């Protein structure tokens, strides 16, 4: 058994959260999973540390961050709930891949990337849509060859 070092327990947060929906420049919604909640979006302009997010008393606030858990699934940096988009739990690889695509779209401008969580959401949805279509085509192909 290897001894854990303090660095092993450090959570690396990322911005933005793909489940933050900003409306009219003031209203904010959390669209995580099948639930939609009114939230109070707090734009700190930077990624907060774990110490800060651990002190938030309830789930009505959003700091627009996510982090990876022990199973490599992303969680809300504020509520600690798993991030779920269109019935999929999102893993860190999918998140970072979508984030890279959004950064390329904005030429690496992190201010624009962090202020557009909807772009990240749509990128994740489009990638899963492609994957679902490929999976369905492979299933059809396997079923068709099984009838020969």
- pTM (2 d.p.): 0.73
Per-residue pLDDT of the chain (148 residues; tens, 9 = 90+): 444 444 445 678 888 999 999 887 678 999 998 878 899 888 877 776 654 556 666 668 888 889 999 999 999 988 889 999 988 899 999 999 999 999 998 887 877 887 889 999 999 999 876 565 555 554 454 444 444 3
Structure confidence at residue 133 (pLDDT): 52
The domain in which residue 40 lies consists of 13-140
Decide if 86 is inside a domain: yes
Decide if 112 is inside a domain: yes
Decide if 3 is inside a domain: no
Decide if 145 is inside a domain: no
Decide if 59 is inside a domain: yes
Element (H, E) at 40: strand 37-41
CA 112 to chain centre: 17
Please give the tally of structural domains in the chain.
1
Decide if 78 is inside a domain: yes
Structure confidence at residue 9 (pLDDT): 55
Decide if 21 is inside a domain: yes
């Amino acid at each position: 058994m290897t001894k854990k070092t303090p660095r092993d327990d450090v959570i690396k947060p990322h911005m933005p959260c793909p489940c933050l929906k900003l409306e009219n420049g003031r209203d904010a919604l959390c669209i995580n999973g099948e639930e939609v909640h009114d939230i109070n979006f707090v734009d700190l302009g930077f990624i907060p540390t774990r110490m800060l997010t651990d002190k938030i008393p309830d789930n009505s606030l959003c700091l627009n961050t996510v982090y990876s858990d022990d199973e490599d699934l992303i969680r809300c940096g504020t509520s600690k709930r798993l991030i779920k988009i269109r019935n999929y739990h999102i893993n860190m690889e999918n998140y970072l891949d979508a984030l890279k695509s959004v950064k390329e779209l904005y030429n690496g401008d992190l201010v624009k990337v962090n202020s557009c969580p909807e772009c990240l959401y749509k990128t994740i949805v489009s990638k899963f849509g492609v994957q679902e279509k490929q999976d369905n085509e492979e299933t059809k192909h396997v079923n068709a060859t099984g009838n020969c």
